[in-house]
Amino acid sequence: MDDDEARHRFTAMYDAHRNQVWAYTACLAGHQRADDLVSETFVVAWRRFGDIPDPPLPWLLVVARNMVRQHLRTQGRQGSLESELRSWAEIEAPIFPDETAAARVDIVRALARLPEKDREVLILTAWQDLTPHETALVIGVTPTAIRVRLHRARRRLAATLDTQRAPSPGHGQPQPARKDTR
């Protein structure tokens, strides 16, 4: 393959997957670092262009995940994902005319409360639309392990959503009369 063909194929791959790699890195490291991490990911992809399998997205996400981990180690910001999700969860929910938008806010809040492993498998399968096999490649475990993790993560997400949506005790219900103990 000549240089022009390689540039053309690389550009097509970049155009096809840049937004997905950005979304994944933003979920792991926050919006502020995502652009730099995506750039670093595609620098590695250019250097190793001949090694990239088809489809390239799982391979790119593995590289992005490694970049995020390296960043977190060097910066000592192990809680950046948690703080990013917490900041999203603490945003006052506006009144949505669309129930779908309100449900998305609820899901982000619930995700913020889940353990990191649950968030990662849900983000890869639901937001990045990866198959269990592709998700297993990214995380470095077997597809069977991913299916188990995904099942458990979905259960915990559903339980968290139920807890969020349940009215607090006494909220909206008449309170029993208190006895005057004077």
Tell me the pLDDT band of 43, cut-offs 50, 70 and 90: very high
- 37: in domain: yes
Q: How far apart are CA 70 and CA 37, in angstroms?
A: 10
Backbone angles phi, psi at 21, to 5 degrees: -65, -40
**What CATH number did the domain enclosing 133 receive?**
1.10.10.10
**What CATH number did the domain enclosing 11 receive?**
1.10.1740.10
Q: What is the pLDDT of residues 128-168, one digit of tens each?
A: 888 899 999 888 999 999 999 999 999 999 998 888 777 65
Q: How far apart are CA 14 and CA 19, in angstroms?
A: 9
Q: How far apart are CA 71 and CA 139, in angstroms?
A: 17
Report how far apart, in Å, the C-alpha atoms of 59 and of each of 40, 52, 145, 165 are: 14, 7, 19, 38
148 and 108, same structural domain?
yes
108 and 48, same structural domain?
no
- Answer yes or no: are the C-beta atoms of 59 and 98 closer than 8 Å: no
Q: How far apart are CA 150 and CA 61, in angstroms?
A: 18
pLDDT score, position 21: 93
> Above pLDDT 90, what percent of the chain?
35
pLDDT score, position 143: 92
Task: Give me the mean pLDDT over the 86-108 stretch.
Answer: 61
Question: Has residue 171 got a pLDDT over 90?
Answer: no
The residues near 13 (Cβ < 8 Å, ≥ 6 apart) are 45, 52, 56
- 21: in domain: yes
Query: Pick from 61, 81, 101: which residue ends a domain?
Result: 81
Domain boundaries, position 39:
1-81
Where is average pLDDT lowest: 8-17, 20-29, 46-55, 79-88?
79-88
